[in-house]
Chain A
Amino acid sequence: MGKITKYLPSAIMGTSIAAPLAYMAYMYQKDDRQKQHAILRNFPLLGRVRYMTEHVGPELRQYLFADDNEGQPFSRLQYQDVVKAGKYNERLLGFGSNRDFEEDGYYIRNTLFPKLSTEMKLDNTEKTNTYTYVVDNEGLFSRKEHHEEAQIDPYFLRDEDAVVLGEGNCRQPFHIKGQVGMSAMSYGALGERAITALSKGLAAAGGTWMNTGEGGISDYHLAGNADLMMQIGPGLFGVRTTAGEFSWEAFKEKSEIEQVKAFEVKLAQGAKTRGGHLEGQKVTEEIARIRLIEPGKTVNSPNRFVDYESFSDLFDFIEQLREVGGKPVGMKIVVGDIEKLEEMVQIMRDSNKGPDFITIDGSEGGTGATYQELADSVGLPIMTALPIVDELLREFDIRDRVKLIASGKLVTPDKAAIALGMGADLINIARGFMISVGCIMAEVCHTNTCPVGVATTDPELQTGLIVDEKRHRVTNYVTSLRAGLFNVAAAAGVDSPTKLERRHLIYKDYRGRISSVGSMLQRIEQAEDKEQDVESLPDK
């Protein structure tokens, strides 16, 4: 007994020094002998610092070193704008803008005689009940705030300004009293809690929609009773036979769900011009039931609808979907091949067929998982793609029967307003809504380890996401976006954001020179006239 008390302190001391030393020695020889990394062979142990620092770089940059305007896909400020709109239903800032005014960019042309708030064509008759945060006191180390009930104005469009999909072309057209909705996000890509919060929040806000993503309609999409747009991708999830064929029976069943207001056939997605891959271990019983696939089996979906290789095939399919479902049918595209699009629009005019709406996904659009080469360089960004489609439809005089939905980082009212001016009727947002349910841009959506339980189906990680708190942020965010659109419209001198046009926009370059935002197609043609055709040169 006496011996133990005598030697114990020095034994503890000894091991606490010797053990780390032994561990370091072990790591040293391990680094020294491995063949993978040159830096570790030359600088054992010390070289590890490089890897550790590289690993925590994104976090350090995001929180400590990056400028408020730096950072992709969203800068710190853009992120904060979204979060604040959700928490406080407010978009006010002090002292002035932090935008870099030296840079090239679109600006909204304000009029000298803006519209008064009493002149705006608004519908605030039905108030929205929600919760917002109120800051009591903010100090260096803490912020005291409380959550309280609030009744807010919904900022709906008037009935006569409502955007109608499939008007006069199907049995149940979809009337939408707001211009902002949720872009495609499947259950599986996002967890059940995130989808539930989104569904409930959007339903409470009203005048909006929720795109199910190609993963089909889950109970979580239905949880809040929001209006749904069901997406049909090449994998045909939710509308297929077990053999992988399109199932009209399953489709009819889906079209009879009251919340489903429209269908969207997905030809391409901005960041993902490729087929999907769903790992067998992710195919749970539930996912299998929703997607109509076999549990536990890996599914590879093709990068296009195998059965349709021409526009007339595709349009026949769309016609049939509309006929059977009775609801508007649109399609989602990424713009790249302008000649092919022109052909498409011509066929639409000549055959009097085609989609009721076209969702144009800018190449800057997000995704849970894709390949870098496709995300970065395939397809055109939204502010180029959108006016091209808008102009083509106008050129062939069918713009009135096709509505345009734009997406691609349009997470704040000013960006959304510019897209409306560029020809969009409606705006799709995905990542903005993810941020409103708690996304912190950790950029690990493809790993199922989302630290805030948004882009993961892991039940443990999801316990962090409280549906009843986040749902109100969704409501506030979408309402705040609509309010912001009316703000911009008033400044531009029109009484509704539905009236924003190309003439309300202007483009300023880094030299301070401005250019009008005129016809994109004419620009291309003029440039082509001046240019020498590469094909006229000898072959390489």
Chain B
Amino acid sequence: MKVFVFGGNEGAGEHVLKKLAAKGHEAVTIAETENRAEELEMLGAADVIISKDGHFTNAIDGSEAIIYMAGSSLGAGEDQETLVDYGTVRKSLEEAQRHKIERLVYLSPVRTDESPESKETGEKDEPEEWIKKSQLAYTVIRTTKRVSKPGKEMITAKETIADSNGEIPYEDVAAVLVEALDNQNTFRKAFEITAGDTSIEEALDSL
């Protein structure tokens, strides 16, 4: 499947590109510089569009699905999380709809343990609301704290996760995003994940 990836630069992003390639998908993504594009291709991206302002209109053509990892702005340095620019998210998704892409896997910048005030700060949660009202076959995923640790391929997935100390490796977040892509059980669902003791496939099937 041809998949357009937003946020390939982010912690989970590199793993997503690698896992998509490993599963035989064709990943297309955006990079700010030639050098970064080279790196993303090394990771397994089939095609990288170089765009300083994140402009991608034509590149998205022909993609069948989108993986959107909100939480980083294009070209932001390593580990540099910025508040999500929900305007851009919405614009991108509207663009996708125009190109008749229906499948969307959205990694929310909102963490499971955030307070209501925090969720609303910078209107971080706004894109989620918009997605849920849209016609897209969406999957919205929230996670506990994401960490740079080796992936275990074992998670817990539930509608809401109460554990405020939980964490999940980037590698596993990426595995869930890629696994969810063609798992129909995750369509039009919003759920939360954290490291756990169920295999990813099983956890997603039993949602």
Question: Taking beta carbons and an 8 Å cutoff, which residues of A are in contact with B?
Answer: 116-125, 127, 129, 148-152, 158, 495
Contacts and interface: CB of A to CB of B under 8 A. Distances in A.
Nearest to B152: A149
A76 B78 CA distance: 32
Contacts of B75: 118
A151 B42 contact: no
Contact of A117 (B14, B18, B77, B169): B77
A116 B170 CA distance: 24
Interface stretch (B33-41, B83-91, B122-130): B33-41
Interface in B160-207: 169-171
Contact of B33 (A119, A129, A149, A158): A119
B135 interface: no
B149 A118 contact: no
B43 A125 contact: yes
A119 B171 contact: no
A125 B39 contact: yes
B14 A125 contact: yes
B149 A149 contact: yes
Nearest to A128: B150
A124 B39 CA distance: 8
Contact of B78 (A117, A121, A129, A149): A117
Q: Please indicate which of the listed interface residues A124, A129, A150, A151 has the most CB atoms of chain B within 10 Å of its own CB.
A: A151
B148 A150 contact: yes
Given A123-B42, A150-B149, A118 B36 contact: yes
The 3 closest A-B pairs by CB, nearest first: A129-B150, A149-B149, A151-B148
Given A117-B77, A125-B42, A150-B149, A495 B35 contact: yes
B153 interface: no
A350 to B, nearest CB: 41
Contact of A152 (B18, B38, B148, B171): B148
A253 B39 CA distance: 40
A151 B149 contact: yes
A111 to B, nearest CB: 17
Contacts of A123: 39, 42
A121 B77 contact: no
B47 interface: no
A120 to B, nearest CB: 8
A151 B39 CA distance: 18
Nearest to B42: A125
Nearest to B169: A151
B64 interface: no
Given A117-B78, A125-B39, A149-B149, 13 more contacts: A118-B32, A118-B33, A118-B77, A119-B35, A121-B35, A124-B14, A125-B18, A125-B42, A125-B43, A148-B149, A151-B149, A152-B148, A495-B35
A212 B89 CA distance: 55
Contacts of B77: 116-118
Nearest to A160: B38
Contacts of B35: 118-121, 495
Nearest to A152: B148
A19 B185 CA distance: 86
A122 B39 contact: yes
11 contacts: A116-B77, A117-B77, A118-B32, A118-B77, A119-B35, A125-B39, A129-B150, A148-B149, A149-B149, A150-B149, A495-B35
Contacts of B169: 151
Interface in B21-53: 32-33, 35-36, 38-39, 42-43
Contacts of A495: 35
Contacts of B33: 118-119
B198 to A, nearest CB: 20
A152 B78 CA distance: 12
A150 B148 CA distance: 6
A200 to B, nearest CB: 16
Contacts of B42: 123, 125
Interface in B57-86: 75, 77-78
B22 to A, nearest CB: 12
Contacts of B78: 117
Contacts of B149: 148-151
A148 B170 CA distance: 15
Contacts of A149: 149-150
Q: Please indicate which of the listed interface residues A116, A118, A123, A124 has the most CB atoms of chain B within 10 Å of its own CB.
A: A118
A118 B36 CA distance: 6
A121 B36 CA distance: 9
Q: Please indicate which of the listed interface residues A120, A122, A149, A152 has the most CB atoms of chain B within 10 Å of its own CB.
A: A149
Contacts of A158: 38
Contacts of B36: 118
A149 to B, nearest CB: 5
B83 to A, nearest CB: 20
Contacts of A125: 14, 18, 39, 42-43
A150 B149 CA distance: 4
Contacts of B39: 122-125
Contacts of A122: 39
A158 B42 CA distance: 10
Contacts of A116: 77
A158 B78 CA distance: 18
A342 to B, nearest CB: 41
Contacts of A148: 149
Nearest to A149: B149
Contacts of A117: 77-78
Nearest to A495: B35
A119 B34 CA distance: 9
A19 to B, nearest CB: 61
A118 B52 CA distance: 13
Contacts of A124: 14, 39
B147 to A, nearest CB: 8
A353 B148 CA distance: 48
Interface string B7-27: 000000010001000000000
A356 to B, nearest CB: 28
A123 B43 CA distance: 9
Contacts of A120: 35
A122 B36 CA distance: 9
